[in-house]
């Protein structure tokens, strides 16, 4: 199983958000092996990495995978050298034929395409997180679940039979 995350760079983590985010893999992954595809940019990605590392403490079969948008030597030197200690794997999707200025967009689309679940944090209708959210919504075919929570705008999408089912577990 692959779970990916996307959210705005500006994010204020709360203990409630952490509890609710940690409940998600407990409910949907449990003791099964899973890969967490992470982007590695901004406060939301840092929050998700902390939560995934905490979850992995009791579920060692979880792998944390940084999906890198760039393959260049300078990017690896400047951004990936310290990432090796925080992630189990660093993955580069086959997007080298895409324009460099759109690398993050194509990387995010790759993450959505590969994922069984997509967890998003979107509070406004602009930016990369919103575009990725809209891309994931295009893959959705129906709502699965909805509940009120104190961490608004976190949503999860599940892919089933090549389609993503929308699951708003934090709305």
Number of domains in the chain: 1
Which structural domain, as residue segments, surrounds residue 27?
Answer: 2-168
Q: Residue 170 — very low, low, confident or very high, per pLDDT cuts 50/70/90?
A: very low
Q: What is the CATH number of the domain that holds 108?
A: 3.40.50.450
Amino acid 53: pLDDT: 95
The pLDDT tens digits of the residues spanning 151-161 come to 555 566 555 43
Cβ atoms of 94 and 112 closer than 8 Å: no
Cβ atoms of 98 and 106 closer than 8 Å: yes
- Taken in order 34, 83, 41, 90, is the CA torsion positive or negative? negative
Cβ atoms of 110 and 93 closer than 8 Å: yes
Amino acid 164: pLDDT: 39
Amino acid 162: pLDDT: 36
Higher pLDDT, 23 or 73: 23
User: Looking at the predicted structure, is the pLDDT value of residue 16 above 80?
Assistant: yes
Nearest to 137 by CA among 110, 160, 167: 167
Strand partners, 65: 37, 89
Amino acid 72: pLDDT: 77
pTM, rounded to two decimals: 0.81
The pLDDT tens digits of the residues spanning 92-143 come to 999 989 998 999 999 999 999 898 888 888 887 889 988 988 888 887 633 2
């Amino acid at each position: 199983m692959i779970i990916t995350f996307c959210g705005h760079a500006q994010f204020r983590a709360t203990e409630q958000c952490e509890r609710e985010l940690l409940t998600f893999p407990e409910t949907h992954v449990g003791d099964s092996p899973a890969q967490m595809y992470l982007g590695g940019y901004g406060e939301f990605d840092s929050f998700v990495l902390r939560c995934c590392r905490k979850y992995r403490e009791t579920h060692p079969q979880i792998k944390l995978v940084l999906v890198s948008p760039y393959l260049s030597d300078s990017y690896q030197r400047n951004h990936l050298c310290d990432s090796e200690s925080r992630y189990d794997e660093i993955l580069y999707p086959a997007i080298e034929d895409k324009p460099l200025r759109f690398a993050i967009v194509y990387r995010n689309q790759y993450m959505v395409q590969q994922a069984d679940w997509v967890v998003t944090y979107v509070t406004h209708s602009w930016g990369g997180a919103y575009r990725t959210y809209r891309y994931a919504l295009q893959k959705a075919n129906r709502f699965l679940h909805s509940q009120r929570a104190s961490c608004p705008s976190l949503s999860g999408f599940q892919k089933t039979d090549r389609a993503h089912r929308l699951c708003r577990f934090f709305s």
